[in-house]
Amino acid sequence: MGVLNVQRCKTKICVKCKYFIKDNGYGDGEFSKCSLFPREGFNDYRLVNGINYDNSIYYHYCATARSIEHMCGESGKMYKRKYVKKAIKNDVKKTVKNDVKNDVKKTVKNDVKKTVNQVYNSKADL
């Protein structure tokens, strides 16, 4: 059973790859694509909806790339791990930066209101 777990950890899964493009929510990722393998030439979408997307880039499905050995193959030879830690770190930085920015804005706004009220009150005393 331990060997099975080690094998599962070593499997290169497309969802964890930096080239992975998530599908539009149709199913369990079976329509997800790989940005490493663009499809050139044929625009099969015009056959479905009649719209010709000349400037669009189409990609092979992940399942296609993994089933063809000269692409990524079953072993996932073109796999590159996403840098999740870095993305989380950047999100945290952005959140903290926005929180600080909002706090500063509130403080400045309150200080300006306070100053305006003091000036107004001092003129009222005259």
pTM exceeds 0.85 for this model: no
DSSP lists the bridge partners of residue 59 as 38
Residues 6+ apart with CB under 8 A from 26: none
The full set of domain ranges for the chain reads 12-82, 83-126
For residues 119 and 54, the answer to whether their CB atoms sit within 8 Å is: no
Q: Three-state DSSP class for 53? A: coil
Burial class (CB in 10 A: 0-12, 13-18, 19+), 14: buried
pLDDT of residue 47: 66
Q: What is the mean pLDDT of each run of 10 residues along the chain (126 residues)?
A: 53 88 75 85 64 71 90 90 70 72 77 78 67
